C-alpha cells in the first residue's frame, strides 16, 4: 500500500510540474484570441510566477467607430472615387443626388457662372454642356431665369443651342445643354487670323437664320458677337448665350447690354463730353451687331478699337474705326464690301432686315441650300 501511495504522489507532482511548464505558452490567450476558464488559468499561471510585459497588461485598443472615421474619408462615395468621376458639380450634394450626369472637364467661365462638359449616365456616348449659375442674388437670378425662358421659346431651332433640361438646387441653377464640340467662332477667328469668304458666307447664313428665328418670336438677342456662337461636331454654327436676350414685342430697348465693340451708335449719345445710354430699336441693333461680326470674320480685327469700354463707346459714337481692319476690308470682294456697307448704316432705319441680309446676292452665291 505504501508503494502504491508513493507512486500516486509522484504522478501528482509530475503533472503539476507539467502544468507549470506549459503555463507561459498559453499567456497570449488573455489578449482576446480565445476564451479561457479563468479559475483553471489562475491555477496554471500566477502573476508571481510569470513576469508580464507592459503590452501584456495594457487593455486592447478598440477600433474607432465608423462615425469617427468619416471625417477622414472623401465626401464622394468610394465607387465614384475609384472610377475618377464626379457628378456635376463636385461641391454640391443636391445636384449629386438628383443629376444623371458625370463631370468630365471644365469648358469655361462667364460673368454669371461656369460651364462644364459632362457625360450622361444613361448613355455613356452622349456628352452635354452644363452651365452653372449662381442665383443667390441679382442680377444672377434674373439672368438664369431669363435664359431658361428664352431657350424654352427657341426649342427646336436648328441654329440655336438646345436646352435639354434645367435643375435648381438651393441658390444654384444648372442648364443642361447640347454639347458643341467645335469651339466658339471667336476662338476660330483668333486661331486662323481671319475667315475666308467662302466659310464666312456659310457661317453668316447660319447666324442670319438663328437671329431671324429669335426676331419672329419677339426676342432681342442684345449681345451678338463671335464668342457667343459655337460649332457642333459637324461644323454647324449655333448661337449659345441668351442670358441678356429679352422678349420685347415693342422692339424698343431702354438700356444697352451689348458688348461695346458690337454695339450700334444709336445706343449712346455724347452729353457734356460723357457717354450716355439712350432708348433704341433692339432689332436694328441686332442687325448692326451681325454686320460687325461679319467684318470681324473677314478681317480678323475689331472694327472699333479701344483700350477700355468707355473708349470703345466713344469710337463707336464718333465712327473712329480700326485702321488695320479697314486695310484688310479693302482687299475683300466687291460683294462682301457692299453687304457690310449696307448693314453698317448709322441710321438704324436704313439698315436691311435680317431676312434681307439672307437674300443678299453675295451671301447666296455658292451657298449651301441646306443652310
Binding residues for ATP, by number, are 131
Phi, psi of 312 (to 5 degrees): -65, -45
- Cα 234 to its chain centre, rounded Å, is 22
Contact 98, 121 (CB under 8 A): no
Pair 165, 176: CB distance under 8 Å: yes
State the Cα–Cα distance between residues 133 and 172, nearest whole angstrom.
6
As a whole number of angstroms, the distance between CA 59 and CA 31 comes to 8
CA dist 236 and 234 (Å) reads: 6
CB-based burial of residue 337 (10 Å sphere; 0-12 exposed, 13-18 middle, 19+ buried)? middle
171 contact partners, CB below 8 Å, separation of at least 6: 134, 135, 136
The three-state secondary structure class of 34 is coil
Helices 334-343 and 282-299: angle between axes, nearest 10 degrees: 150
Eight-state DSSP code of residue 181: T
C-alpha gyration radius of the chain: 38
Q: Quick one: cell of 371?
A: 443652310
Binding residues: 131
Residues 225, 221: Cα–Cα separation, whole Å: 10
Measured in whole angstroms, how far is the alpha carbon of residue 221 from the centre of its chain? 22
In the structure grid, which three cell numbers stand for residue 313, read together? 463707346
Instruction: Region of 336 please: left (phi>0), alpha (psi -120 to 50) or beta.
Output: alpha
Long-range contact list for 11-20, CB < 8 A, 24+ apart?
A: 19/43, 19/44, 20/44, 20/49
SS3 193: coil
Amino acid at each position: 500500500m505504501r508503494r502504491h501511495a508513493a507512486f500516486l504522489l509522484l504522478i501528482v507532482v509530475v503533472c503539476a510540474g507539467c502544468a507549470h511548464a506549459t503555463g507561459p505558452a498559453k499567456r497570449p490567450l488573455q489578449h482576446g484570441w480565445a476564451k479561457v476558464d479563468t479559475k483553471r488559468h489562475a491555477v496554471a499561471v500566477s502573476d508571481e510566477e510569470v513576469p508580464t510585459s507592459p503590452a501584456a497588461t495594457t487593455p486592447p485598443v478598440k477600433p474607432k467607430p465608423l462615425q469617427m472615421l468619416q471625417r477622414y474619408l472623401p465626401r464622394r462615395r468610394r465607387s465614384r472615387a475609384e472610377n475618377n468621376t464626379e457628378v456635376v458639380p463636385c461641391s454640391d450634394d443636391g445636384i449629386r443626388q438628383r443629376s444623371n450626369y458625370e463631370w468630365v472637364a471644365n469648358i469655361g467661365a462667364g460673368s454669371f457662372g461656369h460651364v462644364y462638359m459632362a457625360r450622361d449616365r444613361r448613355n455613356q456616348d452622349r456628352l452635354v454642356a452644363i452651365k452653372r449659375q449662381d442665383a443667390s442674388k441679382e442680377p444672377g437670378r434674373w439672368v438664369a431665369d431669363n435664359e431658361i425662358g428664352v431657350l424654352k421659346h427657341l426649342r427646336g431651332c436648328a441654329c440655336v443651342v438646345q436646352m435639354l433640361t434645367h435643375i435648381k438646387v438651393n441658390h444654384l441653377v444648372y442648364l443642361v445643354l447640347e454639347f458643341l464640340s467645335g469651339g466658339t467662332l471667336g476662338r476660330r477667328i483668333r486661331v486662323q487670323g481671319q475667315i475666308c469668304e467662302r466659310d464666312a458666307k456659310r457661317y453668316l447664313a447660319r447666324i442670319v437664320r438663328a437671329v431671324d428665328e429669335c426676331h419672329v418670336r419677339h426676342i432681342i438677342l442684345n449681345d451678338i458677337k463671335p464668342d457667343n456662337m459655337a460649332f457642333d461636331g459637324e461644323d454647324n454654327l449655333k448661337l449659345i448665350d441668351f442670358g441678356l436676350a429679352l422678349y420685347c414685342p415693342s422692339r424698343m430697348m431702354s438700356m444697352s447690354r451689348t458688348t461695346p465693340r458690337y454695339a450700334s451708335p444709336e445706343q449712346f449719345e455724347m452729353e457734356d463730353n460723357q457717354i450716355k445710354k439712350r432708348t433704341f430699336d433692339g432689332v436694328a441693333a441686332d442687325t448692326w451687331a451681325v454686320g460687325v461680326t461679319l467684318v470681324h470674320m473677314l478681317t480678323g480685327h475689331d472694327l472699333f478699337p479701344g483700350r477700355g469700354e468707355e473708349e470703345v463707346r466713344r469710337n463707336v459714337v464718333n465712327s473712329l474705326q480700326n485702321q488695320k481692319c479697314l486695310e484688310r476690308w479693302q482687299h475683300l470682294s466687291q460683294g462682301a464690301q457692299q453687304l457690310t456697307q449696307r448693314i453698317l448704316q448709322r441710321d438704324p432705319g436704313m439698315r436691311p432686315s435680317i431676312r434681307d441680309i439672307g437674300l443678299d446676292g453675295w451671301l447666296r452665291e455658292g451657298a449651301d441650300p441646306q443652310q
